[in-house]
Amino acid sequence: MNTQPFTPALGENAVTITRVAERHWHALDDDLVVGRGHAGPRPDGRLFVSIDAWHDAVFDRLAEAMLAELPAPLYTVVDEADVELTARWRRAGFVIRRREWEYLVPTDPRVTGLEAVLPPAGVTIVPAGQADARLLREADRAIRDEVEATVGWQSMPAEVVPHPGGDTVGDPAKYAVAAAPDRYLGLIRVVTAIRPRIGLVAVRAGEQRRGIARALLAHALATQHRLGFDAAWTEVHESNQAASALFEGAGGRPVSSNLELVR
């Protein structure tokens, strides 16, 4: 545990920066927590940092302490509309690496225009909760290797939930898949909380441009509509024109954007 006392402004009580765990820091003012910092690795090995503090001086001091003890490069994600937070990170030496659009997508098939969409011949959609876990993981691994060999998996949405043991699937029940007789050709992951989030839509390279992604999206949105949700949301890298076209073709519209910054 490391502590670093400092006085953020004239007349204020001394604030102490304390490393309370391997990747956690607290800013304390007379034993009151006035700021928190955290660092966590993503499955791709990149280290992401976050700081929660009301005052610029506390943020800056937390950032200084964390950056002095963490290995570079470091990443963070902010809402682009949060100009103040973006400025804080840039003041700490971070630069914008990429932008992600957040889309709001209707679920009603009469609105999306996907009511009559079917998978191509020889392909069936297996609903979430019914996919074979082994075939699902094989398809996920193959797709990830294909993406990594081209644009790189880091071009995929920045928000990735880590799973133990290097498992990139996590809960197979959250995936619907497009199935051929002997393997899975594509997959879609939907996590339902306050509003459904489409975390991933992906198709094997050799099976693209056959309408599989559109059929998966049609199935997933219709399922959420039957569950009572009128919209779902998803993130798309600004350079991924195919994904933007897929969601915009279903009536999706960008409502906000996130920035990934790196130092």
To the nearest whole number, what is the mean pLDDT of the chain? 88
Q: Which of 99, 95, 78 is nearest to 239 (CA)?
A: 99
| The pLDDT of residue 95 is above 80 | yes
How confident is the model over 215-243, as pLDDT tens digits?
999 999 999 999 999 999 999 988 888 99
Fold agreement between 3-97 and 101-257: yes
Give domain 101-257's CATH superfamily. Gcn5-related N-acetyltransferase (GNAT) (3.40.630.30)
Query: Predicted confidence band at 159 (pLDDT cuts at 50, 70, 90)?
Result: very low
Helix (H, G, I), strand (E, B) or coil at 88: helix
Query: Predicted confidence band at 10 (pLDDT cuts at 50, 70, 90)?
Result: very low
* Tokens 């990139």, located at residue: 168
Question: Per CATH, which fold does 3-97 belong to?
Answer: Aminopeptidase (3.40.630)
Q: Going by DSSP bridges, is the β-strand pair 253-262/95-106 parallel, antiparallel, or unpaired? A: antiparallel
CB atoms within 10 A of CB 64: 14
Task: Say what the pLDDT of residue 30 is.
Answer: 83
Name the residue ranges covered by the structural domains of the chain. Answer: 3-97, 101-257
Task: Say what the pLDDT of residue 27 is.
Answer: 94
Task: Say what the pLDDT of residue 11 is.
Answer: 34
Cα–Cα distances in angstroms (integers) from residue 211 to residues 6, 15, 20, 203, 207, in the given order: 59, 58, 51, 10, 9
Query: Predicted confidence band at 145 (pLDDT cuts at 50, 70, 90)?
Result: confident
